[in-house]
Structure 1
Amino acid sequence: MTNRVEYLRSPTAIRERCNELFELAQADQLPYFRVDLTQLDAVADYVIAVIREHYPDLDVPFHSRWRHFEVGNIPRVRQLEQAIESRSKIEQAKAKFDLVIPSVLLDAGAGDCWKYHEATTQKTWARSEGLAIASFDAFCQGAFSKHPYQADATALKQITPEQIGAFFQVGSENPLVGLEGRSALLQKLGQTIEQSPDLFGDVPRPGNLVNYLIGHADQGQLSAVVVLNAVLIGLGEIWSGRLSIEGVNLGDVWKHSSLSGDQLIPFHKLSQWLTYSLLEPLQDLGLKIIDLDQMTGLPEYRNGGLCLDLGLLQLKDPKLAEIPHAADSELIVEWRALTVCLLDRIAATIRKKLGLTPESLPLVKVLQGGTWTAGRKIAAALRPGGTPPIQISSDGTVF
């Protein structure tokens, strides 16, 4: 069973299990979706146009939380770096881990109504950017530790929905989806990092994971898969109400009746996005990140919405788009699995059209340039408020 858990935590398992559903889709043997690969070229062209619009020189950064901190071309991260510049390089990286780990966990869909007013710029932000800036401000104001520009288990365990609501400006006129789930997730983060001193230190804080990862580098190189594995092992217990094997929480792993064997299919969307968000502080320490394309695309509603809105995926019963679906429903599981496989194919087609390699345009850059931005763009063009083509009932811990 331990080997089964290790397998389900691997990017290999994500691709293999998703591909099993993808092959069924190509044979039109899935209950909810069919695939139309004749649209692949057109989708790749659409994404390339979006990439050229935002990154004309094709110098695309990683798809990570750090992009959201940069919204509006405001140098927030530079301001943070100035505030902690007296610290050692490793301590600066730890501070960035302390910021980005809670911020990613707080990023699940905010809903259509919530907004955040940024006091320093007098600008108002919504969705992922708003959540990013709200969590950035909360971190800088000491929400996650009694020490400035830090997060630690003691403070995280004591976070309440009321505190999150206050920092995120939540009120009757400004509701935030999943407020209870977000605060519970931070409390679980505090509790969980206490249980792994080998990963998070004897005085536990998220940033101490830097020490562990430096220790697992080989001649200045660090595999992205090693980072993901540390995230999945170290933070696996924070996800409540998930499937488990012999008491081990599997996290973002679900069931689909069309799959063989135990019918389990892993995605690890938030954990992979968190991994992508941890890589840049590690690069700042001089580490070379390898195995980037062993990671997978992120199966969430922007990437999945792009595939659906541009016809790569088709919902067999369009009426199902009119009602919300739970994250564990087979329709959503199917949608996510096919998205993972299509993102690989979109990336390969884009590289071929641009004459680039997986090394020069890895999947993490295709997502940023890229499919996530294109998914948001087509959604805005097709539906008021840019809502996804399929509605998801989220508790604030999956998407």
Structure 2
Amino acid sequence: MSVLGVGPDLDTERAEGAAAALRSTSAVRERAQQLLRRARDGESRWFSVDDDALQTAAAEVADVTTARYPDLSIPFHSRWRHFEAGGVDRWAELDARLAGLDAPARARAMIDLAVVSVLLDAGAGPDWQYHEEPSGQSFTRSEGLGVASWHAFLGGLFSSDAAHPLRVDAAGLHALSADRLAEAFQVGPANPLVGLEGRMLVLRRLGEALDAQPEVFGPQGRPGGLFDVLVQPGADLPGATVAAHDILSQLLLTLSGIWPAGNAIGTHLLGDCWRHEAVRGPGLTDGWMPFHKLSQWLSYSLLEPFQWVGVQVVGLDALTGLPEYRNGGLLLDTGVLRLLDPAWAARSWTVDDEVVVEWRALTVALLDELAPLVRARLGVDADRMPLACVLEGGTWAAGRALAQRARGGLPPLSIVSDGTVF
């Protein structure tokens, strides 16, 4: 069926243009700010906003930041922090095993690891843990998922070539079974992991996307092919540059189809992009609120692999704060956001419910306002403490700490997750 009575070619062109317009952080920010202005005007069906409480939230974040990083030498918020869980120097082992490779090959391996680990990183649920034999430690939630995926990668779980275990390739993902993934993550009746099937579906779709785009991911279908697309072959290392948003754009262009949500304009899959009746935009973008949370989390997690081989990453603050339940929980638990009906906190919601879409949008917009307040309390500027470091210092850890104090770690809103958004 054609749109507005125009022909199918023009319909396809419009749908493609609309999907492309939603694949940018400028669209995320502009639409999130729409919903924040509306909530401040008292027009939200779900939330009120207390601007005075932003200083309370900033104080919580500043206190947590100085406790975690007393010298304010704060790394980026990324998957690599979870690989450091328990104070174990896991990086040294990987670095030693990659030592014989040139810089691009090392970068490809690190990108492979970051991509597959981030795609496996969603809410684990309260009852799952991973026991790491070498350290004798057990880890839960994001740290546990990070450590488990680290060992799965080093063990060659995602590679099709036993002689080259330190990689992720399409054939390896095609051959991966849910049983093998469950075994690697120590999942069983007494150790249940939320959303295992959803994670497995994303990995299968990742394999299909890698296979279908050899011009990006190479003949073996490796996520690390992104390095060669974003850094000109033969570029001097160190000395090359890449923009943070270019990393995100490439991920959204090539991997949007892996998300099982099914949100689409025409045949163009949108990924982490949801309907909200109050969001305005031109043409076919009207009513859509984009987030691209996992894609942005992945972008943050790819900054260091580029930097570690000498590529300068610029434009860090083009990426947004992450709209997930730790950052969003910080805003609810400090009173910046209040549910218009407190009884909603006792209900379970799905990711496409309007209250969840709006909560996530308000989180994005308010993190942009919170960041300068945190910097002011710590006496640093945005050059020293970009948003990626505010998140790490930071908002995520403060949200987790508040949730632990208030509800034993549970978020303030209960979201039914398939393991592919939260």
TM-score by length of 2: 0.92
Aligned residues: 398
Distance 1:259 1:116 in 2: 41
Q: Which structure's CA Rg is the greater one?
A: 2
Distance 1:195 1:276 in 2: 25
Look up the match of 1:265. 289
Which letter maps to 2:206?
L
1:143 counterpart = 2:166: no
Matching residue within 414, 419, 422 for 1:391: 414
Look up the match of 1:179. 196
Look up the match of 2:400. 376
**Residues 271, 292 of structure 2: 8 Å contact kept:** yes
Question: How big is the shift at 1:244?
Answer: 1.0
Question: How big is the shift at 1:157?
Answer: 1.6
**Residues 158, 187 of structure 1: 8 Å contact kept:** no
Matches within 5 A, 1:229-240: 229-240=249-260
1:45 counterpart = 2:73: no
Structure 2: stretches of 5+ with no match in the other structure? 1-13
Which letter maps to 1:41?
Q
Look up the match of 2:221. 204
Matching residue within 227, 231, 239 for 2:247: 227
Question: How big is the shift at 1:77?
Answer: 1.3
Matching residue within 310, 319, 330 for 1:295: 319
Look up the match of 2:80. 66
2:277 aligned counterpart, secondary structure: coil
**Residue deviations 1:162-204, cap 9 Å, x none?**
1111101111100000111111111110101112222211221
Question: How big is the shift at 1:291?
Answer: 1.0
TM-score by length of 1: 0.97
**Residues 41, 349 of structure 1: 8 Å contact kept:** yes
Distance 1:84 1:294 in 2: 31
Matches within 5 A, 1:125-164: 125-145=139-159, 146=161, 147-164=164-181
2:143 aligned counterpart, secondary structure: helix
Look up the match of 2:11. none
Which letter maps to 2:289?
I
Matching residue within 322, 338, 357 for 2:362: 338
Matching residue within 356, 365, 370 for 2:380: 356
Look up the match of 2:9. none
**Residue deviations 1:258-313, cap 9 Å, x none?**
22242101001000010010110101121111111111000000000000001000
**Residues 105, 397 of structure 1: 8 Å contact kept:** yes
**Residues 242, 253 of structure 1: 8 Å contact kept:** no
1:170 aligned counterpart, secondary structure: coil
**Residues 242, 252 of structure 1: 8 Å contact kept:** no
Distance 1:8 1:383 in 2: 35
2:224 aligned counterpart, secondary structure: helix
**Residues 256, 333 of structure 1: 8 Å contact kept:** yes
Distance 1:363 1:380 in 2: 24
* Shift >3 Å, 4+ stretches: 216-219
Question: How big is the shift at 1:241?
Answer: 3.0
1:255 counterpart = 2:278: no
Question: How big is the shift at 1:353?
Answer: 2.6
Look up the match of 2:7. none
2:48 aligned counterpart, secondary structure: strand
Look up the match of 2:3. none
Look up the match of 2:262. 242
2:231 aligned counterpart, secondary structure: helix
Distance 2:138 2:377 in 1: 38
Look up the match of 1:320. 344
C-alpha root-mean-square deviation of aligned residues, in Å? 1.3
Look up the match of 2:125. 111
Which letter maps to 2:69?
Y
Distance 1:358 1:264 in 2: 30
**Residues 157, 165 of structure 2: 8 Å contact kept:** no
Structure 1: stretches of 5+ with no match in the other structure? none
